[in-house]
Chains A and B, each alone.
Chain A
Amino acid sequence: MTTEIKGKVFCFGDDIDTGQIIPGSYVVLTDPYELASHVFEDVAPEFRSQVEQGDIIVAGKNFGTGSSREHAPKAIKYAGISAVIAKSFSRIFYRNAINIGLLAIVLPEADKISKADRLTILLEQGKIRNHTKGEEYNFALPPQIMLDIFNAGGIIPYTLNVLKTRC
């Protein structure tokens, strides 16, 4: 299976915490589209109107630090973002992103990518092509279990498959 993701880039800095992604006051909500309508509301209110389906977030270190709310990756995904590339992720965000089917890629050289660059992510090959800059970056693939969960569409469809094979 090959997963190719194309999109243009939105840049964020270091230590973007889950409260900046989706403010705590909305954690009482569970509908992903409702959550998406409040994504980055406090810190980047313009994001919501600029994002287009398939776009990619590129961020600095420790993206998604803070609470365990999967409301954060969901708000990002349902706003139209197809992948988040960051220098590093906080553990639970990273796990949550894959679990809800949002691609999260650790790329230490993420700062080579600029706003509005057009990228293609070749997941299985561990490669990112930067068409705007004519560059290519390699990233380490997550453990097989995470790839399996992502390729199933997230941990819920993955679990349904597990339950099916059990009975």
Chain B
Amino acid sequence: MGLNLTQKMFANKLEHDVWPGEIYYLEPDLVMTHDHQGPMTIREFESMGDIKVWNPAKIIFVMDHRTPSQTLTSVENHQKLRKFAKKHDITRFYDVGEGICHDLVAEHADVKPGMIFIATDSHTVTAGALGLFATGIGSSEMASLFATGKVWLKVPETIKVVLKGNLQKGVMGKDVALYLLKILKTGGADYKAMEFGGDGIASLDMADRMSLCNMCLEMGAKNAIFPVDEVTVQFYREKGLEITPLFPDGDAPYERVIEVDLDRLEPLVALPFSPDNVFAVSQLDKEYPLNQSIIGTCTGARYEDLKIAAEILKGRTVHKGTRMLIVPATRAAWLRAAREGLLEIFVSAGAMVNVPCCGPCGAYGMGVLAEDESSITTGSRNFVARMGAPGALIYLSNSATAAASAVAGKIVDPRNYL
């Protein structure tokens, strides 16, 4: 029997075939922490005494959650991380203002196909879009990894998702994720890998793939993974890197196969308070008025998200009574949007544009909601109190829907605005 993509990631490292259920100790190719889980990681690491990190060249630090400098505690945390990095010769340090960790490691090609990438963030699964094994762990385990260079991993069972047809205008990778959440529900892919394939993947650009892999975490997935196809090869070629395509074997084992017909997929929205409470925007039972619309977070604030939002907002204005906040995921995305005039379109339409950071994803210093307010967001979570008061309503959508809905002041189908 052949190997699926996740098995291949393990097999590549171990130089022998592996099967679901087996447990291995591995040395990751790359690890990452950030200013939210980093301080705890350092605390635990230092509790082990005056020891050195196993390999500073394989460690990345990112200041993205509590940035720009928000409170005294968050600034002190940034300082702690800078000092630790200096002491341990960790030079791969993305400081305040660079952007969100998951976007940065892709944009800068820190992560490459075939790697084992471990980070102290649940959405580490995002990087699987680039054809690698990427998963999250907690701070103490990262402290242990810093010390030993090893992590134990169980080879997961894989759910295969076969995409057919083509993604339509106004429909994005985020909608594929919401569709799968509707089927699998939160926890439906617990401990499992999700592997994407089928002819339809060709119509998903890297931004779509990253949003999709990102939200597999909300299904509980351990990792999500795309094959290394022409889209991936092109993505790296633009960064001056040549990579080799990689596909699963034809007779690889899958626990379950789900087919998605992209031709028929519509813009979807997750209503409060769970990412799996999913409905088609065109079929909503009533009006959903909005106090706020957010284009931000590692789930939907890449250049492609900004571009489609600008397409919708051009010559239109944000609804009175609805505030719109746009937070590009990285400095490079911000800069490109600035150069191409997208930021001017946003500000002219009445939106606010902020510096790259996690910000509105979890009420980190911006985009906070009051008890009786509601917001649509391109983020990944609409849990109780995620963006402020426990009663505030959060709706999850793609960036086109968030932009069109900002104009309408209520949730609307973006296809009528494109």
Chain A residues in contact with chain B, CB under 8 A?
Answer: 15, 17, 19-20, 23-25, 27-30, 42-43, 61-62, 65-71, 88-92, 95-96, 99-100, 143, 145, 154-156, 158-160, 162-163
Contact = CB atoms under 8 A, between A and B. Distances in A.
B187 A30 contact: no
Contact of A20 (B71, B120, B385): B385
Nearest to B139: A70
Contact of A70 (B65, B77, B140): B140
B383 A66 contact: yes
Interface of B: 23, 36-37, 39-40, 43-44, 47-48, 51, 65-66, 71, 73-74, 77, 120-122, 136-141, 143-144, 147-148, 152, 154, 186-187, 190-191, 218, 220, 222, 274, 362-364, 381, 383-386, 390
Given A70-B40, A90-B187, A95-B137, A163 B147 contact: yes
A43 B389 CA distance: 11
Tell which of A30, A62, A67, A100 has the most Cβ of chain B within 10 Å. Answer: A67
18 contacts: A25-B363, A28-B39, A30-B40, A61-B187, A65-B220, A68-B120, A69-B37, A69-B138, A70-B140, A88-B187, A95-B137, A95-B141, A96-B138, A100-B138, A156-B47, A159-B48, A159-B144, A163-B51
A143 B362 CA distance: 34
A61 B219 CA distance: 13
B141 A99 contact: yes
Contacts of B143: 155-156, 159
A66 B122 contact: yes
B53 to A, nearest CB: 13
A12 to B, nearest CB: 13
A88 B74 CA distance: 33
A91 B139 CA distance: 14
A156 B140 contact: yes
A65 B363 contact: no
B48 A156 contact: yes
Nearest to A163: B147
A4 B386 CA distance: 37
Tell which of B40, B137, B152 has the most Cβ of chain A within 10 Å. Answer: B40
Contacts of A29: 73
Tell which of A17, A42, A159 has the most Cβ of chain B within 10 Å. Answer: A159
